[in-house]
A and B are shown apart, each in its own frame.
Chain A
Amino acid sequence: MNIQANGLCAERSGRIILHPTDVNLKPGERVGLVGASGSGKSTLGHELVDGLRARGTRVAHVPQSPDEALDPLRTMAFHWRETEHALGHAPDTVRRDVLFHALQIEGGDLRKRPWGWSRGMQQRFVIAMALIGTPELLVMDEPTSALDPVVAAGTMDLLEAYLKKRQTALLLITHDLGLAARRVSRLMVMDAGRVVEDAPTARILSAPVTPAAKALCAHRNWLELPC
């Protein structure tokens, strides 16, 4: 069944920051939500998560930085138990081991607090927490910008393999078209609180129509290398 939310909109201090927008994803589909800073990407992500949750769709959200998701005074074990509890699951070490193995964080000491783990491991822990409830949709907001490139590339590869097996849909929110181009099959381009272009990745890369998409395409890569 498709994941669908219609008429998402948002207003702050009397100013419309997200005009009414419909979002529709097929099961297992990978979609990129791209645009410049301030174009309304994260707002649409939040509205989508809230709207779908209110209707009972299982949807998980991974924020840009692990600092937003983890309490520095609580142990990693506490975070894990709290998430299981909130989702109505009994503690299950097998499920935990499977997720930790998929994201390669088996070595992490759960008795430690977040700052006892590297940032790369923290971010992967947050992704693992997001997958506890076997969501139908995973919304990731700039998942790699807090990470070193080597760790970021590894995390995206591990996550992609995991999602593929389970037919989980992915909404990847990023300002970086270069990153999105490699990871998603469809792109939604945002500008000034509206989705201005919504098309298969290959089409937008080869023939962008709107000025926002053209700017992103023109500045997609630093360099193209013959390899």
Chain B
Amino acid sequence: MLTVANISVRRGAAVTLRDLSLSLAPGRTLAVVGESGAGKSTLIGAILGLVRCSAGQVDWNAAPVSKCRPALVMQEPRAAFNPRLSLRRSVMEPVLAQKLAMDSDRLERLCRGLELQPDLLDRRPDQVSIGQAQRIGILRALIAAPPLVLFDEPLSALDAVTQKHTARLIADMQRQEGFAALIVTHDLGYAAAYADEIAVLRAGKIEEYAATQAFVDAPQSEYGRKLRGAAFALGALERVA
């Protein structure tokens, strides 16, 4: 279980995260929503240990998070890979880094689950579509069976149809693999459809932290209400009379 307890992050004089706490159990999905500059990506950095917290603690089952080898799926699918390596080499990186035995059955099973033709892996990042690149990014994140996977805006580079397809595949993989998923997104529609809980982040603070249905039915904070209104105005959520 991921436990983030009262963390703060300072950048010079500015406080980018302040006194932030949340928790996430295996098999569950937490969506962190908020505007640009709210501190969403800093939160991911703090959980991964890439950004130093000035206060508070981040644990996985009472041990440092790095021990559980969490995985990250990045926003820009093609930029997330070394352009000079084949995708297969990049996908196997976590296996090599952790000195695990190569399990070709697992690779094949994950490829099937993510609707990827295995021969795509012999190409380079610029020889696949953005949607395929993102699914291969997810494949790389899952190959070493991490208990915690962080997704930083996993769908924002994709078109609307590919977004919904990829979101469904992420949810299917989570059901099979049982990892805890923390998804940072600015798309409340996506969060509402797939997350168990939603945390609304604004100016480094959690404005609202609630079960998804409760949030979508009746946001308690003013900013939460604005976000919900915007999601309707942009057609991300639809009202049915």
Of B186, B229, B240, which contacts A148 at CB under 8 A? B186
Closest to A179 in B: B235
User: Interface residue count for B (Cβ, 8 Å)?
Assistant: 37
Question: In the complex, are the beta carbons of A150 and B230 less than 8 A apart?
Answer: yes
Question: In the complex, are the beta carbons of B35 and A178 less than 8 A apart?
Answer: no
- A12 CB to closest chain B CB (Å) equals 17
Convert A130-153 into 0s and 1s, putting 1 for each residue whose CB lies closer than 8 angstroms to a CB of B. 000000000000001100111111
Question: In the complex, are the beta carbons of B238 and A225 less than 8 A apart?
Answer: yes
Question: In the complex, are the beta carbons of A223 and B192 less than 8 A apart?
Answer: yes
CA distance A117 to B187 in the complex (A): 23
For residue B188, CB closer than 8 A to chain A, the reply is: yes
Question: In the complex, are the beta carbons of A149 and B160 less than 8 A apart?
Answer: no
Question: In the complex, are the beta carbons of A178 and B160 less than 8 A apart?
Answer: yes
- B199 CB to closest chain A CB (Å) equals 16
List residues of chain A with CB within 8 A of the CB of B238. Answer: 178, 220-221, 223-225
State whether A182 and B235 are in contact (beta carbons under 8 Å apart), knowing that A148-B35, A152-B230, A222-B192 are contacts in the complex. yes
- B54 CB to closest chain A CB (Å) equals 26
Size category of the binding interface on chain A: 20 to 34
Question: In the complex, are the beta carbons of B189 and A144 less than 8 A apart?
Answer: no
List residues of chain B with CB within 8 A of the CB of A175. Answer: 159-161
State whether A152 and B240 are in contact (beta carbons under 8 Å apart), knowing that A37-B130, A216-B160 are contacts in the complex. no
For residue B62, CB closer than 8 A to chain A, the reply is: no
List residues of chain A with CB within 8 A of the CB of B239. Answer: 224-227
Leading 9 A-B pairs by shortest Cβ distance: A178-B235, A222-B189, A153-B233, A153-B230, A175-B159, A222-B193, A148-B35, A149-B230, A219-B164
Can you spell out 12 A-B residue pairs with CB atoms less than 8 angstroms apart?
A: A145-B156, A148-B35, A150-B229, A151-B35, A153-B234, A156-B233, A156-B234, A221-B235, A221-B238, A222-B190, A224-B240, A225-B216
